[in-house]
Structure 1
Amino acid sequence: MTLTSEDIDADQVSRSWLLTARREDLARFRRLASLAMREWEQPPHVTELVLHGVTELLSNVARHVADPRCTLELSMAGEVVQVTVHDRSPVLPRITLPDWTAEEGRGLWLLREMADGLGFARTERGKQVWVRVRAGDPGL
């Protein structure tokens, strides 16, 4: 894992890491994200959703992408925190109503329902998948 950047400007802060997505390393990436949320003074409900996003997006790379090398990027612009994972597969995720009796297949659907935005797009080298979380009153 390599820290590729730590950008700070007046309107946005971001961190990104080049890594190999493996299930056994998810706790480490969650800790890195948690540290960033603490430094960016994010409330617990934002941190919780960001950590869920990190886990789900990296798990999907580990599970579904032949080449698990990817980039994890955390950014904050204004009151919006975004988790983005760039991987090397052009196959876009499909989000469908989950089978609640299955052992997997609900992660992106749940994340989409809890977050303020979830999206994906093909890139020149594969795809990017992102989750957006807005800081603010969690009761709204």
Structure 2
Amino acid sequence: MTLASRSTDAQPLSYSWLLTARRSDLAHFRRLAKLAMREWDQDDAVTEVVLHGVTELLANVARHVPDPRCRLELFLEEDAVRVTVTDSSAALPRITLPDWSAEEGRGLWLLREMADGIGFEPTADGKRVWVRVGTR
């Protein structure tokens, strides 16, 4: 894990970690995200959705991407916090109505319902998935 960028201002505008997504490490990255939310003075409602985003996006890399190396980024924008995960898989996620009797498969749907925006896009080396959580 590497803290790849931090602004020189008193309050950082972003954090970035290069990591290997493992389910056993999700709690660690949730703690780091929670520290960032505290530093950025975000309320509990924003923090809860951001932490859910970190968990869901990293868990999807661990579960679905053959090479689980990825980049987790948190951005403080003017009126939102954005969580972004970039990985090496070109397969874009699909957000569909979940099968409520299944043990998994509803995470992105729930995240879409909680967040103010969710999206994904192909990159030169894979894809980027993001969640936007409004702060106002």
Question: What TM-score, normalized to structure 1?
Answer: 0.93
Query: In the alignment, what sits opposite 2:31?
Result: 31
Distance 2:106 2:29 in 1: 21
Aligned with 1:67: secondary structure?
coil
> Is residue 2:94 matched to residue 1:83?
no
Query: In the alignment, what sits opposite 2:57?
Result: 57
Question: In the TM superposition, what is the alpha-carbon distance from 1:7 to its structure 2 partner?
Answer: 2.6
Question: In the TM superposition, what is the alpha-carbon distance from 1:5 to its structure 2 partner?
Answer: 1.2
Distance 1:77 1:84 in 2: 13
Give the number of the structure whose residues are more often strand, by fraction.
Answer: 1
Structure 1, residues 14-51: CA drift from partner, whole Å, max 9, x if none? 00000000000000000000000000000000000000
Question: What TM-score, normalized to structure 2?
Answer: 0.96
Aligned with 2:122: secondary structure?
strand
Distance 2:77 2:100 in 1: 35
What amino acid maps onto 1:83 in structure 2? V
> Is residue 2:105 matched to residue 1:105?
yes
Question: In the TM superposition, what is the alpha-carbon distance from 1:9 to its structure 2 partner?
Answer: 5.7
Aligned with 2:5: secondary structure?
strand
RMSD, matched Cα: 1.5
Query: In the alignment, what sits opposite 2:128?
Result: 128
Mapped contact 1:69–1:87 kept (Cα < 8 A): yes
Deviating runs (4+, > 2 A) in structure 1?
A: 7-10
What amino acid maps onto 2:49 in structure 1? L
Q: Percent identity, aligned pairs only?
A: 71
What amino acid maps onto 1:94 in structure 2? R
Mapped contact 1:8–1:14 kept (Cα < 8 A): no
What amino acid maps onto 1:118 in structure 2? I
Aligned with 2:6: secondary structure?
strand
Query: In the alignment, what sits opposite 1:13?
Result: 13
Distance 1:44 1:8 in 2: 26
What amino acid maps onto 2:91 in structure 1? V
Structure 2 runs not aligned, ≥5 long: none
Would you say how many aligned residue pairs link Structure 1 and Structure 2? Answer: 136
Distance 1:57 1:81 in 2: 15
